[in-house]
Amino acid sequence: MRANAGSWSELAQARLAEAGFRRGGGRAAVVGLLDAQTCALSAYEIEAKLREDRRAVARATVYRVLDQLEGLGLVTRIDVGQGIARYEPHRPGGDHHHHMVCARCGEVIPFADAELEATIDRVAERVTFDVSEHEIVLHGACADCR
* Reported CATH class of domain 96-146: alpha beta
Please report, rounded to a whole number, the percentage of residues in the chain having pLDDT higher than 70.
95
> How many other C-beta atoms are found inside a 10 Å radius of the C-beta of residue 69?
24
Position 87 scores a pLDDT of: 94
Q: Which of 26, 30, 66 is nearest to 49 (CA)?
A: 30
pTM of this structure: 0.80
Position 3 scores a pLDDT of: 40
Q: What is the dihedral sign for C-alpha 85, 39, 55, 18? A: negative
1-92 CATH, one of 1.10.220.70, 1.10.3720.10, 1.10.10.10, 3.10.150.10: 1.10.10.10
- Mean pLDDT over residues 84-93, rounded? 87
Q: Where are the domains of the chain?
A: 1-92, 96-146
- How confident is the model over 109-143, as pLDDT tens digits? 999 999 999 999 999 999 999 988 888 999 999 99
Distance (Å, rounded) from C-alpha 126 to C-alpha 120? 10
Position 2 scores a pLDDT of: 41
Residue with more model confidence, 115 or 7: 115
State yes or no: pLDDT of 95 exceeds 80. Answer: no
Position 80 scores a pLDDT of: 82
